[in-house]
Amino acid sequence: MKLDSYWLDTAPAGVYASEGPAQGSFDVAVIGGGFTGLSAALAFGRRGASVAVLDAGRMGGGASGRNGGQC
C-alpha cells in the first residue's frame, strides 16, 4: 500500500531544500510549506524580501499534498 500522494511520488526534489538549522538571516520566516505558507513566501519574495520557508517535513507533504496533489 502506498502512503505518498501521487504528487509527492512524482514531484521533483526541491532545489533549495536543505535539512538542519536555517543558516543566515532573512527578512521573513514562513512556518509551514503547504499552500498557505508557500503562497505567503512567494508574495514576500516578489516584493523583494529574503524568505526562509521552514517545515518539519517535505514541502507540500502534509494536507496540501494529500488532498489531491495540487501543490
pLDDT exceeding 90 applies to what percent of the chain?
Answer: 35
Which pLDDT does position 3 carry in this prediction? Answer: 67
This prediction's pTM: 0.69
CA-to-CA distance for 49 and 53, rounded, in angstroms?
12
Cα dihedral sign, 27-12-56-18 = negative
Q: Is the four-CA dihedral 24, 30, 32, 35 of positive or negative sign?
A: negative
* pLDDT higher at 6 or 40: 40
- pLDDT (tens digit, 9 = 90+) per residue, 13-41? 665 667 778 788 999 999 998 888 999 99
